[in-house]
Structure 1
């Protein structure tokens, strides 16, 4: 097939394709039937009585056209049936969990669109399956670790020969791991609730500058404990949104900045107005984030510390990302190793 004919073939829509197919089948059927009758008459296979009879000739023609037309239709429809069977086989493999299947259907433009949509669907389902497995693996790890720790120290606490200091130390660990479990369960519920929302509810007008200052006061003890230098440059501005959800965003970003900034380091909170949007920056002087890790920091349960020794369960940034998107905003991360990290949340001033 030449390049011109392939190009023309790809531009013929499905209705025209079927119409042309029916026309050519009819044309070929009539031509073949007429030719056969001409040959039969030429060699005397059809006598004049049959030709002059008004009943037998139409019946013979009808039967001949039906047989020849059916044969030609069966031959020409094999390609169409093959395409449909290919699609059926592809959907069957997809239904069984084979998300690597891809289709390259040839024919009318509708078939090419069908192939593209099928391949896109298979790719999306494959990505969802990977995320599902990753979520289950990470959740199992995060859930199992504190339970094993609580069980182990509870068994040790049954011993009567423990000193008061040892008993208090083990009880503190049990309390800490229990709080970690409670936090994990709470964060999973919050994330599930947020992901299920398509429309932001419980919106109010509130002072975001005052909210940021209150978040600083809530974490003042942690900041003082690490002797961190804190610069806050925020103004009183009103925005429309869910105050409780946005409060979780600020607390998470500030808590992360405190957690990863070394003692004596510095943290900057700054607010900037950009046309009809408001940008809030959280900058720290911590160790920074690996370049390869930055695209994954908003994934569920992702932690740059593969040993999971750092406090947290990898859900905070994922929750923050979902909340900001629900408000029609964006959250970005800019980080360099040994030069600190900056998270920027941009929100619309009016919603």
Structure 2
């Protein structure tokens, strides 16, 4: 019977909302106070502890009953409120620990339903804050590494350039490295500023309608020298589909994806670019037959500063794909990456087509 009673109590507690539970608790406190007070006065009357003269006067007994009710009611309220106060103290302690940086803190309050919802929201908030803290730490570490490496390189080669016994060839080589590392620093600063601007942008501005196929052709022409230098084969399937969005931002998307494809495609390799309409959306695919991306690295390709090449010997700073992803999502689109080792990589960008477009 006790198990059945406890189950009924749990179900009743889970169904009662906080206002109803509070009202029910107040009613029980009043009821228990009246019963206990009445029982005490009945026992006092039975054992002759109450003088008949006091009863006849008619003012002392009500006063005694009032004082007894206050004392007994206060005592019962203090005892019954311990559970609720304990839950509130648990929540206060949890928020203190969370404010102190302990993002592993979790609440397990089960009843009333409002406290359960409070626990779930608190746990979700703690989890999100923990993830943000990890991202922040990774960002600082990666940014420090990316920023420090070219500075150290520039400093080292600048010091070597002070020697008078350097040959003209060595001096030119060191100067080229200094120029290259300076350009890398400038690119890093530019990308960080661009990413910061895009991340704070919630509304797409400077929207216009333009020919997406023509934009892709222009991007290919801009990178034509890189294609020719690596003797890459281009397989293009463009159409004159109209697209609505920020042309300058989308230009960065195609240039970043194309530059990545060129960078990782072996000399004499092939890059395929295609676009087609599907269910009111335009699907762009840029693929290469390069070395591919490992299954472990694939989920992180859009993370800030992430590079599969842990030696950081490959040109770039790991921000290009992050910027691409932010721009695509800002346009209400999606971007995915599919890759197989030794077979190549394909990036698929899906953007909404204008409503008036046939």
TM-score, shorter chain, exceeding 0.5: yes
Match of 2:326 in 1: 322
Task: Measure, in 2, the Cα distance between the counterparts of 1:264 and 1:107.
Answer: 67
Which 5+ residue runs of structure 1 have no aligned equivalent? none
Q: Which stretch shifts more, 293-302 or 44-53?
A: 44-53
Given the alignment, which residue of 197, 202, 205 partners 2:209? 205
Distance 2:211 2:56 in 1: 100
1:257 to 246, 256, 261: 261
**1:350 shift after superposition:** 2.5
Aligned to 1:243: 247
Q: Give the one of 107, 112, 120 matched to 2:111.
A: 107
1:77 maps to: 81
Q: Which consecutive residues of structure 2, in runs of 5 or more, have no partner in the other structure? A: none
Counterpart selection for 1:145 from 130, 138, 149:
149
Write the distance in 1 (CA, Å) between the matches of 2:58 and 2:249.
Answer: 87
Deviation at 1:349, TM superposition (A): 0.8
Q: Give the Å deviation of 1:47.
A: 1.7
- Between the aligned partners of 2:235 and 2:300, the Cα distance in structure 1 is 28
Local SS of the residue matching 2:337: strand
Moved over 6 A (4+): none
Is contact 2:242-2:354 (8 Å) kept?
A: no
SS class of match (1:84): helix
Matched, 1:343 2:338: no
Quote how far apart the aligned CAs of 1:55 are.
Answer: 1.5
How many residue pairs were aligned?
Answer: 351
* CA displacement at 1:292 relative to structure 2: 1.1
How many Å separate the matches in 1 of 2:204 and 2:177? 39
1:234 to 231, 238, 242: 238
Which of 115, 120, 128 is 1:116 aligned to?
A: 120
Aligned counterpart, 2:307? 303
* Distance in 1 (alpha carbons) for counterparts of 2:126 and 2:32: 41
CA distance in 2, matches of 1:165, 1:338: 38
CA distance in 1, matches of 2:7, 2:83: 20
1:38 matches 2:18: no
CA distance in 1 between partners of 2:11 and 2:275 (Å): 56
For the pair 1:67 / 2:71, whether they are aligned, the reply is yes
- Superposed displacement of residue 238, structure 1: 1.2
Aligned with residue 132 of structure 2, among 113, 128, 132: 128
C-alpha contact (below 8 Å) 2:293/2:345 kept by paired residues: yes
Quote the residue 1:291 is aligned against.
Answer: 295
Per-residue deviation, 1:279? 0.5
| CA offsets 1:274-319 (integer angstroms, 9 cap, x no match) | 0210000001000100011111000000000011010000000000
1:22 and 1:113 mapped to 2: Cα distance? 23
Paired residue secondary structure (2:164): coil
Offset at 1:145? 0.2
Deviations 1:127-166 (A, max 9, x none): 0000000000000000000000000000000111111111
Deviation at 1:237, TM superposition (A): 1.4
2:18 aligns with 14
